[in-house]
Structure 1
Amino acid sequence: MLLGILLVLQILVCLALIGVVLLQRSEGGALGMGGGPTGFMSARGAGNVLSQMTWILGGVFFALSLAITLISTQSSGGSALDRLNVEALDPSQLSPPPAAAPAAPEAPATGGVLDAPAPQIRNPVLDDGAADPAP
C-alpha cells in the first residue's frame, strides 16, 4: 500500500519536474517574459522561482527514489542480485567450447564440373511440409 502511494507520488513529481525544466529558457531567463528587471513576474524573478522549483523537485525525486528502494528491499527480503543465486552458476557452461568446423566438401568426380541439385519448390497453399521437385 505504502509502496503504491510512493510510486504515484514519484510519477507526479517526475511529471512536475519535466514541466518545470521545459518551461525554463536555456539563456537563464524563464518563460520568455519581458518586463522590468525586478519583481516576481519579471523574467529574472520567474527564472529564480523555476530554478528553485527544479532543485526542490529534484531533491524530492531523489528522496522518493531512495525511500522506494529501501521499502521494496525490506518487503522482498533482499536485492535482485541476492535473488539471482550466482553461486549456482557453472562457469564452464557460460561459454561452451566452439563447435567443430564442418568438413570440407569432396571434390567433384566429373572433372571439375559441378552438378547443382534440382531446384525445390514449396507450395505455401498446400504446405504439406515436403518440398516438390521443379518440373
Structure 2
Amino acid sequence: MSTVILLIHVMIAIALVGVILLQRSEGGALGIGGGGGGGGGFMTGRSAGDALTRTTTILAACFFLTSLTLSILASHNTASTPSIVPTSGGEGGLTPLTIPGQTEPTAPAAPAAPSGPQVPQSN
C-alpha cells in the first residue's frame, strides 16, 4: 500500500515541478511557458495562467495529502519506539559481548601494560 502511495507521490512531485516551470516568470527566472499575447493560439495569456495556477494548487494539495498519508503509514508500521536510532539491548544501543557457556556478559580484556622500559639486547 505504501509503495503505491509513494509512487503516486513521486509522480505528483515531478508533475508539480513541471507545472511550476511552465508558469510565466515575472522576475526573469525559470518560467518557460511564455504565455504572452500576440498569436491567436489555443489559450490566451490570462486563461493559460489561470489554468496553470489552478493545476499548481491541485497538485500541491495532492502532494501535501500524500506526504501526510505516507508519514501516518510510516508511524503505524514501526514498533512502539518513536526513535530513529535502533536500540538492540545494552547502553548506547550496543549489545554486550557474551562468551558461550557464560551467563553474564564480559568486558574485553585490557592489553597488558609493559613493565618498565624495554631495552633491546645485543649479542
Q: TM-score, normalised by structure 1?
A: 0.52
* Structure 2 segments unaligned to the other structure (5+ residues): 93-123
Q: Which residue of 1 aligns with 2:7?
A: 8
1:73 aligns with 2:72: no
Counterpart residue identity of residue 70, structure 1: I
SS at match of 1:81: coil
After TM superposition, which residue ranges in structure 1, 4 or more long, deviate above 6 angstroms?
none
Q: After TM superposition, give the deviation of residue 26 of structure 1 in Å.
A: 1.6
Distance 1:79 1:46, change over 3 A: farther
The structure-2 alpha-carbon separation of the partners of 1:72 and 1:35, relative to structure 1 and needing over 3 Å to count, comes to: same
Q: Is the 8 A contact 2:24 2:32 kept in 1?
A: yes
Counterpart for residue 33 of structure 2 = 31
1:1-135 to 2 correspondence within 5 Å? 2-27=1-26, 31-35=33-37, 41-78=43-80, 81=83, 84-85=86-87, 88-89=91-92
Report how many aligned residue pairs link the two structures.
85
**Compared with structure 1, are the counterparts of its residues 84 and 4 closer, same or farther at alpha carbon in structure 2 (3 Å cutoff)?**
same
- CA positional deviation for 1:52: 1.2
Alignment root-mean-square deviation, CA:
2.9
Deviation at 1:35, TM superposition (A): 3.1
TM-score (norm 2): 0.57
